[in-house]
Amino acid sequence: MRARLPAVAPDAPESFDTILRDFREQIAPAMTHWGHPGWFAYFPSNSSPPSVLGELLSAGLGAQCMSWETSPAATELEQTVMSWYRQLLSLPEQFTGVIQDSASSATLVAFLTARDRVGVDHERLVAYWSSEAHSSVAKAARLADIPVERQRVVPVDGEFAMQPGALATMLADDARQGLVPGIIVATMGTTSSTACDPLRAIGQIARDHKVWFHVDAAFGGSAAIVPELRPLLDGVELSDSMVTNPHKWLLTNFDCSAYFVRDVDALLHTFSIAPEYLRTRHDHDTTVVNFRDWGVPMGRRFRALKLWFVLRSYGAAAIRSMIRTHVALGHELAAWVDAEPGFERLAPAPLALVCLRHVPPALQGDETALARHNAALMARVNATGTVHLTHTTLGGKYAIRVAIGSFRTERRHVAEVWRLLREESQT
Amino acid sequence: MRARLPAVAPDAPESFDTILRDFREQIAPAMTHWGHPGWFAYFPSNSSPPSVLGELLSAGLGAQCMSWETSPAATELEQTVMSWYRQLLSLPEQFTGVIQDSASSATLVAFLTARDRVGVDHERLVAYWSSEAHSSVAKAARLADIPVERQRVVPVDGEFAMQPGALATMLADDARQGLVPGIIVATMGTTSSTACDPLRAIGQIARDHKVWFHVDAAFGGSAAIVPELRPLLDGVELSDSMVTNPHKWLLTNFDCSAYFVRDVDALLHTFSIAPEYLRTRHDHDTTVVNFRDWGVPMGRRFRALKLWFVLRSYGAAAIRSMIRTHVALGHELAAWVDAEPGFERLAPAPLALVCLRHVPPALQGDETALARHNAALMARVNATGTVHLTHTTLGGKYAIRVAIGSFRTERRHVAEVWRLLREESQT
């Protein structure tokens, strides 16, 4: 597309009709359509009508939400909506929420706060996460200046969840060697397979060693608003911080990442800075907060508005029902895969993500050939243009991921992706 | 406002009429109106109609712009628009642009890249900025794990610009003591008074010592699209990175911060990470880029769209003309202040920001009393509700800032703020 665009900005104004025509003819057809009902790639990134209207009003207001005084209603609505969301997730009352742009940023915030809490000893700080944790965790460690030598990758069990026993051993070994265990990151709903680390056992280890415990529930967290799925988040009350993204499953367009933290003073100690030109009459008023001190950026958009619109416009019951439907569709697809000769399911499917591969008898046991075969199968399915899939590896095996969660996805779309996978596996 | 909102999320859906009524009655009146023509506080945060429509379409598309494959048109439009903007600013061809959320984040990116480039010696890394640099610089240093002992605050001259001679001395002293000068941050358009550090002299020192040179032109940079103001950015071609925010003066609603970097490989070395589930067929295709590797967050909004809409809808000539008008209004107000007995101007006004105070003869020389007097004066002016002002301190003196730059601000609004200041100074 780039080759078709002018190389320099126009000097004279262009009509909005021309600009919109270019949008329709040049931009829209060259986008990847994350909102399509056949979107089964990565994770869903839902953008519902009330959310889009919230974003529109927020852009129109053009407010800077760095402090209470620069945006009182935005600050207070963020507090209110984060409190609503905290209750929907059944998180402890001691948790306070703030909206960040992404789970990557929120996890970096957790690392920087944990490093700050360790203090002068932080050059011996060791960080722990499982081999299935998201890449943003290793990236946060790197950016927080924790080198590879002090990063511990804890092994997972057969269902891709962290082994707490292995974590405990690593921690004890490090402590014995004079290192300082400083942060443990557990995942509720890993990116590869939505595996859920045993938060309670991990949290207990974190408490025993006084280590910052961060829970990455970026995708999976939303499911915790459904009572029968809440057990997957059991033990989160032992954590120090937790991130979950309404901008994935919760009908709120990117960006809207909810970061919950137990010790707000620790967060403020790491991030607050108050030069004269930012001081307001309300800085020492304990009834208001200045969210610029709750993360990296000073400037902040009014993101609470769209989440407020979504929660009110749909109501919690309908959102729970949507998540239940997606999870049930995932179970149904998992059952279809299990029943189909030649197909293999590679992980449990607790959260609407099914990981599978096709195993022709001739290729059995040959991982390289199976990877090539399934990559080609996925490419053929994607080439139909009806659905979009992405892949991962699980225990060294190439896996096709079918991530259900777009709010436009119905049973017939899941049936279609399954039909395409079977059909293309025969060519 | 918070006390009037329900404490829990609704279970049942609410009508959009009800929600919008609450927006109008509860939210809008409790916002600080950054888009008002009487906005003279902080810096402008413009939100123009084409920008808002770009944000609307971007939210509707709901695309994730983390890699080329997940959003080809968004990636390529970002490259195109950043190239347009680079040319409008007359930046060197070797600079490549990427959109970040804020200057705070972009400056952190510069610090982390500089730290990475220093490598194993980074525990001796020293960072330099002037006493007038924005607080986000010291915050970035802190987050990049550069403690206060290795932060050098360079003194400024009588016009609040960094003294390059003092910088050179500090650098030489540190090098002699075995420390490693690692990053210099200069500002073009400081927050307190829009002072412009001498970039060419500083850049030459940075080159001589092979130190990363970052230019914070968050507000002022936009002025460089006007030929006669471009000299204020002279020497930027010696820098390694530069940030300027179209979301301030350039009619593009927050967030849209342009980060330009010379050595993209250095940036990628610091920020790229490639797990299996993010790999695409295009990762080794040198004709495309994956912007997730150009900063902290993996997920990214399609922010190039609104800047594209703005540049095309207004055209560069009209935007230049708007900036010229604002700067001329600043000069006019400065002249009014200079001519008015009892008022004092506290800094040059190169970029539409006038810093002033009222000095009644009885308070002359008493800084504490003058600060109290001017804070009260500003509070009275703000209480009229017609304009909004904020303050700073300059050389220990309390200064009222009149920051012109909202695209709705006309000469009559500037005349009005000046009338109010004079009128309230007499009560």
Query: DSSP assignment of A70-117, as one string?
Result: T-HHHHHHHHHHHHHHHHHTT--TT-EEEEES-HHHHHHHHHHHHHHH
Overall average pLDDT of the B129-140 stretch: 98
Q: Which residues from chain A sit within 8 angstroms of residue B311, using beta carbons?
A: 9-10
Distance from CA of A8 to the nearest CA of B (A): 5
The DSSP bridge pattern shows strands A390-394 and A397-403 to be: antiparallel
A275 pLDDT exceeds 90? Answer: no
Q: What is the pLDDT of residues A369-427, one digit of tens each?
A: 999 999 999 999 999 999 999 999 999 999 999 999 999 999 999 999 999 999 999 98
Taking CB atoms and an 8 Å cut-off, how many pairs form between chains A and B? 319
Q: Using the Cα atoms of residue A134, residue A140, residue A143 and residue A146 in order, give the sign of their dihedral.
A: negative
In this prediction, residue B427 carries a pLDDT of 84
Q: Which of residues 166-185 of B touch A (CB under 8 A)?
A: none
Distance from CA of B301 to the nearest CA of A (A): 7
Q: Which residues from chain A sit within 8 angstroms of residue B64, using beta carbons?
A: 34, 42, 45, 254
In this prediction, residue A98 carries a pLDDT of 98
Mutate one of B254, B319, B378 to test the A interface: name it (highest A CB count within 10 A): B254
Q: Which helix (H) or strand (E) holds B80?
A: helix B72-88
Q: Give percent above pLDDT 70 in chain A.
A: 100
Cross-chain Cβ contact B9/A104 below 8 Å: no
Cross-chain Cβ contact A13/B144 below 8 Å: no
Compare all CA atoms of chain A with the CA of B49 and give the residue at the minimum distance: A60
Q: Does A393 lie at the interface with B, CB-CB under 8 angstroms?
A: yes
Q: Does A1 lie at the interface with B, CB-CB under 8 angstroms?
A: yes
Residue A281: pLDDT band (50, 70, 90) is confident
Write b or e for each residue in B330-356: b if 16 or more Cβ atoms lie within 10 A of its Cβ, otherwise e. bebbbebbeebeebbbbbbbbbbbbbb
In this prediction, residue B199 carries a pLDDT of 98
In this prediction, residue A5 carries a pLDDT of 95
Compare all CA atoms of chain B with the CA of A62 and give the residue at the minimum distance: B47
Cross-chain Cβ contact B80/A277 below 8 Å: no
Angle, in degrees to the nearest 10, between helices B367-383 and B411-425:
130
Write b or e for each residue in A282-296: b if 16 or more Cβ atoms lie within 10 A of its Cβ, otherwise e. beeeeebbbbbbbbb
Mutate one of B5, B24, B32, B406 to test the A interface: name it (highest A CB count within 10 A): B32
In this prediction, residue B276 carries a pLDDT of 75
The two tokens of residue B70 are: 């997940």
- Residue B13: how many CB atoms within 10 A of its CB? 17
Q: Are A354 and A327 in contact (CB under 8 A)?
A: no
Q: Which residues from chain A sit within 8 angstroms of residue B191, using beta carbons?
A: 275, 277
Q: Are B239 and B260 in contact (CB under 8 A)?
A: no
In this prediction, residue A376 carries a pLDDT of 98
DSSP A340: S
Query: DSSP assignment of B382-402, as one string?
Result: HHTSS-B-EEEEETTEEEEEE
The segment(s) of chain A belonging to CATH 3.40.640.10 are 52-311
- Say how many CA atoms lie within 13 Å of A119 toward its Cβ: 1
The segment(s) of chain B belonging to CATH 3.40.640.10 are 53-314
Report how far residue A80's alpha carbon sits from residue A274's, in angstroms, rounded to the nearest whole number.
25
Q: Between the CA of residue A302 and those of A61, A73, B29, B257, B410, what are the distances in Å?
A: 9, 9, 15, 17, 27
Residue B298: pLDDT band (50, 70, 90) is very high
Q: Do you know the residue count of chain A? A: 427
Distance from CA of A316 to the nearest CA of B (A): 4
Q: Does A277 lie at the interface with B, CB-CB under 8 angstroms?
A: yes
A63 pLDDT exceeds 90? Answer: no
In this prediction, residue A167 carries a pLDDT of 98
Q: Does A34 lie at the interface with B, CB-CB under 8 angstroms?
A: yes
Closest to A421 (Cα-Cα) out of A345, A367, A368, A365: A345
Q: Does A45 lie at the interface with B, CB-CB under 8 angstroms?
A: yes
Q: Which of residues 191-250 of A touch B (CB under 8 A)?
A: 191-192, 247
Residue B278 main-chain phi, psi, to 5 deg: -105, -5
Cross-chain Cβ contact B63/A143 below 8 Å: no
Q: Does A30 lie at the interface with B, CB-CB under 8 angstroms?
A: yes
Cross-chain Cβ contact A145/B316 below 8 Å: no
- Residue A119: how many CB atoms within 10 A of its CB? 9
Cross-chain Cβ contact A299/B50 below 8 Å: no
Q: Does B132 lie at the interface with A, CB-CB under 8 angstroms?
A: no
Architecture of domain A316-425: Alpha-Beta Complex (3.90)
Phi-psi region of A64 (alpha: psi -120 to 50; beta: other; left: phi over 0): beta
Q: What is the pLDDT of residues A355-372, one digit of tens each?
A: 999 999 999 999 999 999
In this prediction, residue B63 carries a pLDDT of 86
Q: Which residues from chain A sit within 8 angstroms of residue B218, using beta carbons?
A: none
How far is C-alpha A338 from the chain's CA centre? 28
Q: Which residues from chain A sit within 8 angstroms of residue B287, using beta carbons?
A: none
Residue A128, beta-bridge partner list: A152, A184
The two tokens of residue B163 are: 């003294």
Architecture of domain A52-311: 3-Layer(aba) Sandwich (3.40)
Complex prediction ipTM: 0.96
Q: What is the pLDDT of residues A188-203, one digit of tens each?
A: 999 999 999 999 999 9
A278 pLDDT exceeds 80? Answer: no
The segment(s) of chain A belonging to CATH 3.90.1150.10 are 316-425
Place of tokens 């004269």: A276
Question: How much helix, strand and coil, in percent to the nearest 5, is found in chain A?
Answer: 50, 15, 35
Count helices and strands (H / E) in chain A.
Answer: 12, 11
Q: Which residues from chain B sit within 8 angstroms of residue A8, using beta carbons?
A: 84, 87
Q: Which residues from chain B sit within 8 angstroms of residue A108, using beta carbons?
A: 296
In this prediction, residue B109 carries a pLDDT of 98
In this prediction, residue A427 carries a pLDDT of 84
Q: Which residues from chain A sit within 8 angstroms of residue B296, using beta carbons?
A: 104-105, 108, 139, 143, 296
Cβ-Cβ contacts under 8 Å for B368 (sequence gap 6 or more): none
Q: What is the pLDDT of residues B370-405, one digit of tens each?
A: 999 999 999 999 999 999 999 999 999 999 999 999
Average pLDDT, chain A: 96
Report how far residue B241's alpha carbon sits from residue B107's, in angstroms, rounded to the nearest whole number.
9
Report how far residue A62's alpha carbon sits from residue A301's, in angstroms, rounded to the nearest whole number.
8
In the CATH hierarchy, which fold is given to the domain comprising B53-314?
A: Aspartate Aminotransferase; domain 2 (3.40.640)
In this prediction, residue A357 carries a pLDDT of 98
